[in-house]
């Protein structure tokens, strides 16, 4: 009791797979995962799903729009994830820092009203990397690195409610 399962089925971004192939694999994966969770008696309303987004592979010659990723991802989730799941918290899954924010934002701004669960983020690298790069082990840079971490967290918080814009990336401190 008292434990919240965080279920993390990830379809890797490595490779040259298309958006459509990622959608097929994610669909099969989520279908299988939820069948097993049901069989094991997991309470969906007491779990968090931490999936990757439906996105073409890094080496795919045909990259798609932010909106296409958002639409494919939300449609796949709506098809496979029970409405009773407590929340969706995405991995950044090797995406660029800006793309992970833009994709999350598009999901919430374009399709958020269709989602029965909150759609948010559980990013590590996509939030931490700018701070780690700036800090680089230099104790005199800790305060600035912390500010960079805060900025990324604010950008992704805005994306979680559909209020992120790529123009925010041009500012040092978000509003």
* Domain-wise residue ranges, the chain: 6-124
Q: How far is CA 102 from CA 2, 114, 116, 126, in A?
A: 34, 18, 21, 12
Q: Which of 8, 98, 163, 169 is catalytic?
A: 8
Q: Burial of 13 by CB count in 10 Å (0-12 exposed, 13-18 middle, 19+ buried)?
A: buried
Strand 119-121 relative to strand 48-49, pairing: unpaired
pLDDT per residue as tens, the chain (175 positions): 688 999 999 999 999 999 999 999 999 999 999 999 999 999 999 999 999 999 999 999 999 999 999 999 999 999 999 999 999 999 999 999 999 999 999 999 999 999 999 999 999 999 999 999 999 999 999 999 999 999 999 999 999 999 999 999 887 544 3
Q: Which residue has the tokens 């600035």?
A: 144
Closest CA to 52 of 26, 75, 20, 24: 26
Cα diameter, the chain: 53
DSSP letter at 31?
A: H
Q: Is 8 annotated in the active site? A: yes
What token pair was written down for 60? 């795919």
Q: Is 50 annotated in the active site? A: yes
Cβ atoms of residues 11 and 26 within 8 Å:
yes
Q: Which of 20, 28, 50, 67 is catalytic?
A: 50
The long-range contacts involving 169-175, CB below 8 angstroms and separated by at least 24 positions, are 169/98, 173/147
Q: How far is CA 88 from CA 18, 137, 163, in A?
A: 23, 34, 18
DSSP letter at 119?
A: E
Q: How far apart are CA 118 and CA 134, in angstroms?
A: 32
């Amino acid at each position: 009791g008292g434990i919240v399962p965080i279920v993390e089925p990830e379809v890797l971004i490595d490779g040259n797979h298309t958006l459509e192939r990622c959608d097929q694999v994610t669909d099969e994966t989520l279908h299988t995962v939820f069948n097993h969770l049901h069989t094991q008696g997991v309470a969906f309303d007491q779990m968090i799903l931490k999936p990757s987004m439906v996105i073409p592979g890094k080496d795919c010659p045909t990259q798609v729009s932010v909106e296409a990723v958002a639409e494919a991802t939300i449609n796949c989730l709506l098809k496979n994830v029970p409405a009773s799941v407590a929340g969706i918290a995405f991995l950044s899954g090797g995406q660029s820092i800006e793309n992970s924010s833009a994709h999350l934002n598009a999901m919430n701004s374009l399709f958020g009203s269709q989602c029965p669960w909150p759609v948010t983020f559980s990013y590590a690298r996509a939030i931490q990397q700018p701070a780690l790069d700036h800090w680089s082990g230099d104790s005199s840079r800790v305060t600035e690195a912390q500010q960079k971490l805060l900025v990324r967290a604010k950008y992704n918080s805005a994306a979680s409610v559909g209020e992120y814009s790529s123009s925010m990336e041009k500012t040092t401190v978000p509003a």
